[in-house]
Amino acid sequence: MGNNIAGFCKTEHFAYRQWDRTINDKVLRSILKNVDTNKSNTLLIVSRKVLKKVNIKVNKELFIKIDNNTLITCFYCELQEYYTRNREQNYLIISEI
C-alpha cells in the first residue's frame, strides 16, 4: 500500500485503518476515481452494494473521512447508526462505481 492513491495522500492513521479493514489499493482506487481532491471536511459513504461489487463482504457501509486531498480515516458503520449523531460536515454518497 503506497502513500498516494487517485490524487489523495494517505495519513499514517488512514494507512493503518485501511490495512486493518483489509481494503486493498485497487478497491480504494476504484472507489475514489470520481471523487474531487478538493473536498474539505467530507465524509465519503460507500454503499453496501458497491462494497459487494468489489468483493468486500461486510454488512455495513464504508465511511472514508477526506479533507482536501488527504485521506484521514476509514471505518465500517451502519448508515442509520451514524446519522443519529449530529455532525457538521459535508457528505458524499457513492452508490455505484
CB 66 within 8 A of CB 35: yes
CA distances from 16 to 7, 72, 73, 81, 92 (A): 19, 11, 9, 24, 23
CB 42 within 8 A of CB 89: yes
Convert the pLDDT of each residue in 42-91 to its tens digit.
899 999 999 999 999 999 999 999 998 999 999 998 876 666 555 677 77
pLDDT: is 96 or 65 the higher one? 65
Angstrom distance (rounded) from CA 63 to CA 65: 7
Averaged over 25-49, what is the pLDDT? 89
> Quick one: pLDDT at residue 81?
66
- Residue 26 CA to chain centroid, in angstroms? 13
Which position has the grid cell 479493514?
Answer: 21
